Structure 1
């Protein structure tokens, strides 16, 4: 069960950039969940992915100190859903579902912060433990969500 969760039901085993595949799967599922069921489902999925992610990472990395295997993508899923919460909540305040480019911007910002690992993202990544595996992507999700809202505000206030 921990392997299934850690690889997000096998998505992490896809070839070439499994973190991007995990983020893309999270984008599609999270966007659909929010659009067709509601913001509450995205919130529930995010909380479950964080809790299950910490559990699965501890189980999968118990005998592998310092490892962050690329097939573990539950951290990307949780981080991506955190990033999606920012535009989802912003759209919910206007009584509507997320529309592009909000979720797309969140995806690109999330990948940017996950790959570049600035400040708290990099600090968490340097922990080299199961908590760090999850925490760096959670921080990347927060930064991506904020960057998405700032970009939207600049676009809508300054350019429109």
Structure 2
């Protein structure tokens, strides 16, 4: 029961169509709440805790099943989306900026994470092909890292850091 609640993020994973996108969308207000309550450090602590809980829940939910990554498991999307949002949380926390003022970054983080999670380039696809609960979690972690790098590059361009 608790594994299903964690794995589906309180039932979000049962929303159709596109449960992964719904899981990513659910991650946004959760990240905002964590950031408001404790800034970047709390978001990172929650990220590690949810990764561990999600891995455990995925093990429980897929035990004895032929499908190693059922679509209702969306806790991995929450973790990946939080990684994609990490540069925004860090900048807002470090600079004392209202994190919602960075709304273009939120859109970029969401869009890039969904792109890399669906497309599964390079190491994202390799992690997914593991075919085990760790791979379920890791492909979204790596997609989140790719998205976070994309967010940083886009912010650098938008703020003139990469322009002469």
> What TM-score, normalized to structure 2?
0.91
Q: Is the 8 A contact 1:65 1:129 kept in 2?
A: no
Unaligned runs of 5+ in 2: none
- Whole-Å separation in 1 of the counterparts to 2:157 and 2:151: 10
**1:110 pairs with one of 113, 116, 121:** 113
Structure 1 stretches of 4+ with a deviation exceeding 3 A read: none
Q: Cα RMSD between the aligned structures? A: 1.7
Once residues 90 and 150 of structure 1 are traced to their aligned partners in structure 2, the CA distance between those partners, rounded to angstroms, is 14
1:75-114 → structure 2 map (5 Å cutoff): 75-98=76-99, 99-114=102-117
Task: Work out the CA distance in 2 between the residues paired with 1:7 and 1:75.
Answer: 9
Query: Which moved further from structure 2: 150-159 or 114-123?
Result: 150-159
Contact 1:11 1:73 in 2 (8 A): yes
Q: Superposition pairs for residues 13-32 of structure 1, below 5 Å? A: 13-32=14-33
- Correspondence for 1:144: 147
Q: 5 Å matches for 1:55-74?
A: 55-74=56-75
Normalising by structure 1, what TM-score? Answer: 0.93
Instruction: Give the Å deviation of 1:65.
Output: 4.2
